[in-house]
Amino acid sequence: MKKCLIVLSLLSLMLTGCWDKRELNELALVMGLGIDKIDDEYLASIQVVLPGEVSPIKGGTGRSPVTLFIAKGKTINEAIRNVTSISPRTLYFGHLQMVIIGEELAQEGIGSLLDYLSRYWEVRSDFYLAIAKDSTAEKILNVQTTLENIPANNFFHILKTSEESLSSTTAMTLVKLITDLEREGKEGVLTGIKVLGDEKSGSSKQNVKTILPSAYLKLEEIAVFNHDKLVGWLSPEEGKGYNSITNHVKNTIGILSCPDEGTLNVHGITSKTKLKSKMANGKPEIEVSVHLTGNVGEVDCQIDLNKEETFKKLNKLYEEEIKKNINDTVKFVQEDLGSDIFGFGAKIHQDHPEEWKKLKKNWDEEFKEVPVNIKVKVEIRHTGSVINPILKTIKD
């Protein structure tokens, strides 16, 4: 009898409604969050979707599919909470797609923002973060976009597509960024995003009603952090070097100079990088081994692709190109930025834990002097649906 009463009690609890349930028409669905620092205050820019304007049933009224709420506060939490004084609905962050960080705030430090986001139970961890390069988060979130009518979704997919196709940027989630910043011997990076064109007209719905928008957004370089502070930027080519070293190349394009004249493009389809570390007389050394396979993508030169010797030359040219790119990237980061975004220290920590204990206190300085040996192996395998260049066939 006692067991029956316990079971009935549990069932009655399961049948009760959710005590904290909220109806959809009571919520403001947040898709994008921007945080800037202006003087001593934080500025929160919150991009909220208007369900009626994106509904395939109602068809919308022609208004903007999103609105932007802006508020200030002494803390990030206060700035976001202050939005409730201007929003008629409760903010809901469960569908957050993008967090944009103002460049000025990034230079000061993003630790407080990451702490807030990681503690907020309603926020999922699969959104991306980016830096507003030469701009503010507010201006980035105030641009209407094409294809994806919700700008935050547009940013999300640009980052994802670019990472998969170009390998000069990186799509960074909250968990991945915090892991990099907290890991011994590894620093973090974020991709930059910039407004191009007429910034003032970017917020107008008219911006997406023309073939060529007056203002649009472009991914612009990779932001390098030391601890939680922005210390510099990697160019697109240096971004490729970074992704090669950290084994994040999914697809890439290499432009090679042909043996005589003209150029040839190689479409890199697989890339695998291995890091090795060793200690020599108490000093660390790093070896970077890259193995890339690719196909011929475009030929604009006189070259005979029927010959095996031609492929050997192309492989050698691409190997030298990748090696130079990685060398240049490492040199720039070591000499100019002094931040171990490659994880060399983490590899030493993994392979030589006792030696790492001696190195980690001054790793920022030690990192600048670490010799890096680079090995590259390239295999160009296919030429596509034709073998020799069309240009060669026409001239012949």
What is the CATH classification number for the domain harbouring 257?
3.30.300.210
Please indicate, yes or no, whether residues 317 and 355 belong to a single structural domain of this protein.
yes
Between residues 253 and 390, the one the model is more confident about: 253
Is residue 362 located within the same domain as residue 225?
no
Whether 17 is in a domain gets the answer no
What is the C-alpha to C-alpha distance for residues 347 and 185, in angstroms, rounded to an integer?
Answer: 8
Domain finish residue from 234, 267, 288: 234
Judgement on whether residues 203 and 258 belong to the same structural domain of the protein = no
- Residue 212 exposure: Cα atoms within 13 Å on the Cβ side: 3
On whether residue 292 sits in a domain, the answer given is yes
Q: What are phi and psi of 222, to 5 degrees?
A: -115, 130
Burial pattern 254-288, b for ≥16 Cβ within 10 A else e, equals: bebebeeeeebebbbeebebebebeeeeeebebeb
Whether the predicted pLDDT of 98 surpasses 90: yes
pLDDT band of residue 388 (cuts 50, 70, 90) is low
Within a domain: residue 138?
Answer: yes
β-bridge partners, 98: 32, 128
Co-location of 291 and 187 in the same domain: no
- Dihedral sign, CA of 231, 192, 77, 19? negative
Say which residue, 318 or 395, is predicted with more confidence: 318
Nearest to 277 by CA among 335, 359, 222, 182: 359
Q: Is residue 20 part of a domain?
A: no
Q: Is 92 inside any structural domain?
A: yes
Q: At what angle do helices 236-245 and 308-332 cross, to 10 degrees?
A: 100
For tokens 């944009």, the residue is 100
Q: Please tell me the predicted confidence (pLDDT) of residue 62.
A: 62
* 373 compared with 264, residue with greater pLDDT: 373
Give pairs for 19-28: CB < 8 Å, separation 24+.
Answer: 22/90, 22/92, 24/51, 26/89, 26/90, 27/89, 27/90, 27/91, 27/92, 28/69, 28/87, 28/88, 28/89, 28/90, 28/91, 28/92
Count of domains in the chain? 2
Same domain for 140 and 37: yes
Same domain, 241 and 209: no
157 and 302 in a single domain? The answer is no
Which of 234, 266, 294 is the last residue in one of the domains?
234
What is the distance between the alpha carbons of residues 78 and 393, in angstroms, rounded to a whole number?
Answer: 68
Residue 10 domain flag: no
245 and 208 within one domain: no
Q: Which of 186, 216, 234 is the last residue of a domain?
A: 234
Tell me what the mean pLDDT of segment 2-27 comes to.
Answer: 50
- Tell me the whole-structure pTM to 2 decimals: 0.86
Examine the domain organization and report whether 265 and 230 are in the same domain: no
What is the predicted pLDDT for the residue at 125? 81
CB proximity list for 141: less than 8 A, separation 6 or greater: 32, 34, 45, 47, 68, 100, 151, 152
Are residues 316 and 219 part of one domain?
A: no
Does 250 lie in the same domain as 114?
Answer: no
Q: Is residue 16 part of a domain?
A: no
Residue 210 in this model has a pLDDT that exceeds 60 = yes
pLDDT band at 389 (very low <50, low <70, confident <90, very high): low
Query: Residue 8: is its pLDDT beyond 70?
Result: no
Q: Is the pLDDT of residue 24 over 80?
A: no
pLDDT digits (tens, 9 = 90+) for 349-376: 999 999 999 999 999 999 999 999 999 9
Q: Are residues 330 and 313 in the same domain?
A: yes
Q: Is the pLDDT of residue 218 over 60?
A: yes
Is residue 11 assigned to a domain?
Answer: no
**Six-digit token pair at 335?**
């000499």
The answer, yes or no, to whether residue 187 has pLDDT greater than 60, is: yes
**Domain containing 311: what range?**
237-396
